[in-house]
Structure 1
């Protein structure tokens, strides 16, 4: 196992990086030659309700909290980078989450469930049908990632994503947090949101195969209901791969690492500097 250090993760934002540690969350945004940093103390429900730290349950909570924090961080970074005031109310955040989750359900659950109808006449085995549906879901996911990765604005966003990973690698390996040290590391990281989403796809194939092959409406409903369980199990797997050097961990993380070749780009020094400033603020 890797040396246990306080877990730190984050995400790219507009012209910057958000980092979240055990105690603080920080957002660093490039504004001309300056870097604007905002740091806040974490207010997780885990601190108030210890049962939310239990395996699987903690993954569901972490996903929800990261959605809320991520949307707020994007709004804040936009207000700094674009010099326009964006302030989301709790209603705005709730609406954004509903839209994001609704879009994901439509694209990755409803659409594959409809497309599998072209195979139902020739395939009768429920396990095989669930496998084909899962493969369709993964293909849609790959096409979506590829289509956004060729957009100019998204490419710059992915450069900050790469900077975030390089900074975290630097921290996890115990190096001084400098640009030169961070540049030694890859833009890929096993404990990444991209890898998490791909693991969600794979776990869903395995879990849904136990449900048989009911009617289309019941299939869609059952998949939506089981999403928290799928997310919780996937979180535990991504947590394991991020902490272990075992062969099993490397096998589990390999597909997600390959996919990160699309969702990360090599950052320049100024972008790495932003990621390091966010990281320093949470440690």
Structure 2
């Protein structure tokens, strides 16, 4: 069987795997059953736009956020159903009453918007305004940009360390490790079993964690050319350049996942080390879930 490029995402008690033709979400319910849901890829991923370097990275960035939020929401529903304390809020009930099936799409897009807004506030707005107070001490634009980038990365690492202490997030990180191990197992050509997947590392160069780190590093380089005369003006220019940063980062990750060169290994190393925080060793039951998700996208049938 010809190997295809696959990627994935950890869910709540599950794993989402994505291939060229479709994606599959596998979730282990509280009774132990593994439920798999398959979907085709979006039409835009089959368009000519998706073949244009950098632009495809911009599209993939926003598309992956939408898919990711939808997948997380799907996995969470299994545990909301089993929770007698869970009750939909008035706004959620109103949306379902007025919009029907479209309510889920509205909630997904709103969640993506909210996630982007929070990320921009924490990792773009706050560092810029804080470092802006130093421009009377340090007048060099490159020095200020270096301080801003360092603060941004430290805040990101600190955020990961804090959330990793939460029990629920630790479980998600274990499924993240399972996702990577199973993808490695598939790429090696070995039979997809927990025993075979167990021997592989949880660190993968095409991981979203590495992508985010590349986004930060490339943004430091590009944003160093922006002046510090006005923090508002600086933020507006950074927002305009953000899609370009995402596009370039996507191309680097794409090459890093295939290349064996020393240069790419060196560039990938910081991201791999950061994955030591976002991935944990999974158990066999978690590997089984990741395997079910991957097997589902490798089988072409009428469900896709």
- TM-score (normalised: structure 1): 0.95
Q: What SS is found at the alignment partner of 2:225? A: helix
Query: Which of 67, 70, 88 lines up with 2:68 in the alignment?
Result: 70
1:232 and 2:247 are equivalent in the alignment: yes
1:26-69 residue CA offsets vs partner (Å, 9 max, x unmatched): 0000012210001111123032x303321100011111111111
Instruction: Tell me by how many angstroms 1:12 deviates.
Output: 0.5
Instruction: Tell me by how many angstroms 1:99 deviates.
Output: 0.2
Q: What SS is found at the alignment partner of 2:174? A: helix
1:127 and 2:142 are equivalent in the alignment: yes
Of 52-61 and 114-123, more deviation after overlay is shown by 114-123
Tell me, yes or no, if the aligned pair for 2:135 and 2:228 is still in contact at 8 Å: no
Q: Give aligned pairs, total.
A: 279
Q: How does 1:198-217 map to 2 (within 5 A)?
A: 198-217=213-232
Query: Which of 262, 268, 272 lines up with 1:257 in the alignment?
Result: 272
1:271 and 2:271 are equivalent in the alignment: no
Instruction: Tell me by how many angstroms 1:242 deviates.
Output: 0.6
Distance in 1 (alpha carbons) for counterparts of 2:3 and 2:125:
40
Give runs of ≥4 in structure 1 deviating > 4 Å.
84-88
Q: CA RMSD in A?
A: 1.6
1:185 and 2:200 are equivalent in the alignment: yes
Instruction: Tell me by how many angstroms 1:212 deviates.
Output: 3.0
Of 119-128 and 138-147, more deviation after overlay is shown by 119-128
Q: 1:37 maps to which residue?
A: 36
Query: Which of 2, 12, 15 lines up with 1:14 in the alignment?
Result: 12
- TM-score (normalised: structure 2): 0.88
Instruction: Tell me by how many angstroms 1:81 deviates.
Output: 3.6
Distance in 2 (alpha carbons) for counterparts of 1:204 and 1:210:
10
Q: How does 1:84-95 map to 2 (within 5 A)?
A: 89-95=104-110
1:162 and 2:158 are equivalent in the alignment: no
Q: What SS is found at the alignment partner of 1:213? A: coil
Q: 1:137 maps to which residue?
A: 152
Of 117-126 and 238-247, more deviation after overlay is shown by 117-126
Q: What SS is found at the alignment partner of 2:8? A: strand
Tell me, yes or no, if the aligned pair for 1:163 and 1:267 is still in contact at 8 Å: yes
In our comparison, the structure showing a higher alpha carbon Rg is 2
